[in-house]
Amino acid sequence: MESAEIARRFLTFFEERGHTAVPSASLIAEDPTLLLVPAGMVPFKPYFLGQRTPPAQRMTSAQKCVRTPDIDEVGKTTRHATFFQMLGNFSIGDYFKEQAIPFAWELLTRSEADGGFGFPEDRLWVTVYQDDDEAAELWHDRVGVPAERIQRRGLADNYWHMGVPGPGGPCSEIYYDRGPEYGREGGPVVDEDRYLEVWNLVFMQEQLSTVRSKVDFDIAGPLPAKNIDTGMGLERMAAILQGVDNIYETDTLWRVLDRAAELTHAKYGRDQRSDVSLRVIADHVRAGVMMVSDGIIPANEGRGYVLRRILRRAIRNLRLLGGQDAGLMHELSAVALGTMGEQYTDLVRTAANIHAVIDAEEERFLQTLRTGTAIFDAAVEEARRAGGRTLDGVQAFTLHDTYGFPIDLTLEMASEQGLSVDEEGFRRLLEGQRQMAKADAAAKKTGNLDVSVLGELLDRSGGGVEFIGYHDVTAEARLVGLLVNGANVQAAGAGSEVEAVLDRTPFYAEGGGQLADQGVIRLGNGAEIEVRDVQTPLPGLVVHRGTVRSGEAQVGEPAFAEIDVERRRAISRSHTATHMVHAGFRRALGESAAQAGSENSPGRFRFDFTATGAVPVSVLRDVEDEVNDVLVNDLDVRAFHTSIDEARSMGALALFGEKYGNEVRVVEVGDYSRELCGGTHVARSGQLGLVKVLGESSIGAGVRRVEALVGIDAFRFLARESVLVHQLTDQLKVRKEELPERISGLVGRLRDAEKELERLRSQQVLEAAGALAEGAADVHGIALVAHRAPDGTGADDLRKLTLDVRGRLNARPAVVVVAGVPKDRPVVVVAVTGGAKERGLKAGALVGVAARALGGGGGGKDDLAQGGGTDPAAVGEALAAVERAVGAA
């Protein structure tokens, strides 16, 4: 039974029993304490906490999840994975144990022909919390599980909570006996490899007031309403139903693994090292595809860093298996898209965008590996020069942390060079970094209290703040909540920084790339709140952030809310222009140019889109011309609501990575542009006036950014350019159309002049070589030249001069040291002849003496070395230090 069929059967079973099937939420968690969704219940957490009203009391879902705390264990075991899918059924204050337990048993044991999973009853075991007599009796009396196959366990195994104050309760787990070949008899309390957990049923029935650890917490009392939260791992179920030993041999992972083996000429099952790499590749490629599909872009922080690490671990393991070529990730991503596309149809629609992001990250990391290899080689040379056989832990950590160079690749390459790595030092630094991250995560957990406070405000607003800003710029409302420093207050005086909640508002909250409205809230008692920002920390809750300008803001007061109309109009022009530029780029570059972010500010906007490389200037100009041709036709801009299926049938664009409900808002500009959008727009395209594209640049792997001006800002920019062009034509005495050629000629002649000056300067410096060689001092039989070159002499010329002087002294034991200050930072070069080396003098050691005097360092070979520092005033001392070192030899 394939994975897609397992999910379909699960959802169908519970739909037939009155559950509403809820689509998988995005991997980007709404919960501010989480980067990614790590469990199937996370999207339902606000319902369990009573912060939001659920769409139904009975729900079921197949939820995408990513969990990375054990990422280093992926591949080493056959049970760890980063991406997985959790099937679940949920009851919010509806049924409880008496129905949840029979539901689970029926679905598992019903025959496949009747829509079940066909598990033999005599191979199923259950565990219950040690004090949960009710669950034990239901399993035995209602379902018929023999008492010897019902085992009781303690808090660590069979009690669930979220790690913070909130709901909790005992749980009951169902295990499948894989047979004696997998381990010892005696049930899951004896061997969880043989007895594999397939389903966990959580009975939320208690309110926890304090949580100190998994097994140490205080129970305040029973919950007002009891809830059910269950989870069945799809991959684990697939392993059992497909008759394979582990999740990596199931359909969706095996196809990626098998293709990776083909591409790298590896063979799964041949040796442990190859097997680990193939499992890492299969898991990480699939996880990467699913994360990118939800709009996550590789970055150096946050969830973007999680994605970057996952993709780079996959690429690195491909290289360990011998896959050196670019493009392997494209091949494997295509397989992952094919295997997951039946469950998640959006993957097919956004495949080009997903490929663009992953391909770009692969190319970037391959370049990083090349850079890291050069840094590694320098570190090896430094270790050898110091006479050591170990690569320093700090260097290994710098390679890992700064250059993205994996530690196991460093270990492998060091071994090839006959060196070891200070792994203990590396692990110590890495652990320090992890502890900092843990402390940060622990601090963020306290944010759950803030979410609860916001949930109270949401309830006060009547379950959601009414937004009327599409048509109104003012509104009569009531102040229903105030926060000061994250705490609920009833009043706040003048000068207080507040977060205010109204029951209805014309203020647009930042979202969809559109900046928030600004304005003022005037209260009935005369107080005024200046609004600088508006956000939606929870769906349906609009929070106005600002300062009490005068009087005392009091909860319950009537309010008059008024936005800054000119700012709104300018932002709306930018937003409509963004839609039109998006349409223009898709026409010019194809469907792979999908919007990956935007910011609509007053008078200007930026538009991010997926692309494999830079956009030619000619394409930028063509898109700009096309958009301006369209907007002067003064097309009608219309917004309307419809179903998601109807919107897609009419060709409305959904933003890459965004998730939508069943009803969506469509904004169309005539027949030129049609997108799903919740933002504000102009009434007609002619109101934009003019769009001026300023340029484009890269902002990350596979993502380009276009910046542009709109309306009066565009006109002002062109006016300034016109004045500049007029000034240049006057100064150069040419017509404006001749400016590019004239300026190009001037720049060319200037470059030629600079090259000639550089040649003359080099010639002048090198002409001194003969005189320097003739004037060499004799230091105990060593010919010594210690020379300070004129300031501004380039590092290359310093090196050439040093080599030239040494060449003239090659028949004698000689040391040549030349120092200078090319660009505010001193450089020193040391060269020694063969005779000097026989006397024990080495250039690398001597340059170190000089560089330390300069406040820096350096290195090189025994006959030639270069260094530098930070103190130009110490050049004389550096030369003297080398002279003393030669004299002491």
**Architecture per CATH, 3-249:** 2-Layer Sandwich (3.30)
Q: Among 496, 461, 452, which residue's Cα sits nearest to residue 481? A: 461
Q: Check residue 789 and give its pLDDT.
A: 87
> Has residue 447 got a pLDDT over 80?
no
Number of CB atoms found within 10 A of residue 784's CB: 21
Residue 164, SS3? coil
Q: Check residue 648 and give its pLDDT.
A: 81
CB 531 within 8 A of CB 507: yes
Give CATH for domain 568-718.
3.30.980.10
Q: Establish how many alpha carbons lie within 13 A of residue 498's alpha carbon, considering only the half-sphere containing its beta carbon.
A: 32
Mean pLDDT, range 477-497, rounded to an integer:
91
Give the CA-trace dihedral at 401, 405, 407, 408, to 10 degrees.
Answer: 160
Q: Check residue 443 and give its pLDDT.
A: 46
Task: Domain ranges for the chain, please list them.
Answer: 3-249, 451-563, 568-718, 771-888
Give residue-wise pLDDT tens across range 710-768: 999 999 998 988 888 888 888 888 888 888 888 888 888 888 888 887 777 777 777 78
Q: Check residue 404 and give its pLDDT.
A: 66
The amino acid at residue 336 is A
Strands 150-153 and 124-129: what pairing? parallel
Cα–Cα distances in angstroms (integers) from residue 502 to residues 467, 478, 535, 545, 860, in the given order: 10, 5, 13, 12, 69
List of long-range contacts for 832-837, beta carbons under 8 Å, 24+ apart = 832/806, 832/862, 832/863, 832/864, 833/806, 833/809, 833/863, 834/810, 834/863, 835/811, 836/782, 837/862, 837/863
Q: Establish how many alpha carbons lie within 13 A of residue 152's alpha carbon, considering only the half-sphere containing its beta carbon.
A: 10
CA 183, 188, 193: angle at the middle one, nearest 5?
40
CATH 2.40.30.130 given to domain 451-563: yes
Q: Give per-residue burial for 198-230: e unless 16+ CB within 10 Å, then b.
A: bbbbbbbbbbbeebeeeeebeeeeebebbbbbb
Return the H-helix or E-strand segment holding 738.
none
Average of per-residue pLDDT values in the chain: 88
Question: Cα–Cα distance between 307 and 328 in angstroms, integer?
Answer: 17
Number of CB atoms found within 10 A of residue 111's CB: 10
Record: fold of 771-888: Diaminopimelate Epimerase; Chain A, domain 1 (3.10.310)
Q: Check residue 658 and give its pLDDT.
A: 60
> Has residue 11 got a pLDDT over 90?
yes
Give residue-wise pLDDT tens across range 550-596: 999 999 999 999 999 999 999 999 999 999 999 999 888 887 787 88
Residue 701, SS3? coil
The amino acid at residue 435 is Q
Mean pLDDT, range 320-329, rounded to an integer:
85
Residues comprising the binding site? 575, 579, 677, 681
Residue 469, SS3? coil
R_g of the chain, CA atoms, integer Å: 34
CB 290 within 8 A of CB 64: yes
Give residue-wise pLDDT tens across range 365-404: 887 777 777 778 878 887 777 777 888 888 888 777 776 6
CB 593 within 8 A of CB 614: no
Residues comprising the binding site for Zn(2+)? 575, 579, 677, 681
Confidence band, pLDDT 50/70/90 cuts, at residue 448: very low
Strands (E), 453-554: 466-467, 474-484, 487-489, 491-492, 497-502, 504-505, 519-523, 528-538, 541-550, 553-554
